[in-house]
Amino acid sequence: MENYRSYVAPIFLATLVHIIMLVLLAGYWFDFREQTRIEPRHMQARMVDLSSFQPDQASAQQEAERARAEQQAREEEQQRQAEAQREAEAQAEQQRQQEEQRRQEEQRQQEQQRREQEAEAQRQRELAAQQEAESRLRAEQEQQREEAARREREQEQRRQEEQRRAEEQRRQEEQRRSEEQRRQEEQRRAEEQRRQEEQRRQEEARAAAEAVIGDIGSYIQAMVSRNWNIPATARSGMTATVELQLTPAGDIVDVRVVRSSGDLAFDRSVEQAVRRTERLPRVSEVDPMLFERRLRRMQIVFTPEGLRW
């Protein structure tokens, strides 16, 4: 709006100058148009001898000369007026061109000023946008730093919590292992005590079994010895091994010589001795497991010196 007001006075003055120039040019133009309507006369010149003319002819000739001079003066005046009009028109055109150049220069300056103002406004907008972008970037960076710090704190808290849980788990694991070791130690001691007790019982049972077996063995040897008739061919150093199979009731169900003495009569005598015994009643008193392990199939070694098993 201020730029528009600054153009009003120059435009008004320029318009006024143009109106004045048009009025002046219009006067010259109408005058010229009226003068140009006069049609020039065609004149023919002829050389004459003035001496032969009479005084009235000389006067007419002078009048003609004067008319020609006036005509020439008028033509010169018209030329001067036309030249002045052309000069005025040229000046007006030059002034118009100057005014147009000035106006164009003003418009160029105004356009340049407008462009500069727009460029400045654009620069200010770009600067504001850049500042806003930088501010937003700083805010985002600050937010990212805060977020990174928060994540780092959370990671540290998780790490500490995991470390605490791991330490608690390790402590519990150590306690569990300690309890397990203690339990295993107690179990081992109990097992050892049980094993020792079992071993003691087994030894006692074995001793009792050996005593029973020894007693039964002595009993069997005595029963078979009573039924053995040593042959006359028996010699010192001869041995014959007999295997007999017993029932839990003590019945002898099978007899065979598993190792011969080399003497048929000696071997036959030991086999007959076992067969004649037929039954061993005290075998039924032996524990069934001990019977299965030691008495179901038993071997007796016969020598001239006696029996052993």
pLDDT in tens, 254-264: 999 999 999 99
Q: How far apart are CA 197 and CA 186, in angstroms?
A: 16
Whether pLDDT at 308 is above 90: no
> Looking at per-residue confidence, does 48 or 296 come out higher?
296
Mean pLDDT along residues 267-272? 96
Please tell me the predicted confidence (pLDDT) of residue 274: 95
Q: How many percent of the chain have pLDDT more than 90?
A: 24
Going from the C-alpha of 127 to that of each of 134, 136, 195, the distances in angstroms are 10, 14, 95
- What sign for the dihedral angle of Cα 267, 269, 275, 279? negative
Please tell me the predicted confidence (pLDDT) of residue 110: 82
Q: How far apart are CA 89 and CA 226, in angstroms?
A: 186
pLDDT tier, 276 (very low <50, low <70, confident <90, very high otherwise): very high
What rounded mean pLDDT belongs to the chain?
83
Please tell me the predicted confidence (pLDDT) of residue 252: 94
Name the residue among 235, 244, 226 with its Cα closest to residue 263.
235
> Looking at per-residue confidence, does 59 or 74 come out higher?
74
Mean pLDDT along residues 245-266? 94
- What sign for the dihedral angle of Cα 167, 169, 170, 171? positive
Please tell me the predicted confidence (pLDDT) of residue 300: 93
pLDDT tier, 53 (very low <50, low <70, confident <90, very high otherwise): very low
pLDDT single digits (tens) 278-302: 999 999 989 999 899 888 999 999 9
Please tell me the predicted confidence (pLDDT) of residue 227: 94
Mean pLDDT along residues 58-83? 85
Q: Which domains does the chain have, with CATH numbers?
A: 227-308 (3.30.1150.10)
Residues 6+ apart with CB under 8 A from 7: 106
Name the residue among 37, 50, 118 with its Cα closest to residue 78.
37
Please tell me the predicted confidence (pLDDT) of residue 206: 65
Whether pLDDT at 17 is above 50: yes
> Looking at per-residue confidence, does 40 or 176 come out higher?
176
Residues 6+ apart with CB under 8 A from 251: 278, 279
Mean pLDDT along residues 78-106? 83
pLDDT tier, 272 (very low <50, low <70, confident <90, very high otherwise): very high
Going from the C-alpha of 188 to that of each of 52, 53, 194, 201, 271, the distances in angstroms are 189, 187, 9, 19, 53
Q: How far apart are CA 241 and CA 267, in angstroms?
A: 9
Mean pLDDT along residues 89-113? 83
Name the residue among 260, 2, 258, 274 with its Cα closest to residue 117.
2
Sheet of 252-259: strand order equals 252-259, 240-246, 297-303, 306-308
The values of phi and psi at residue 208, to 5°, are: -65, -40
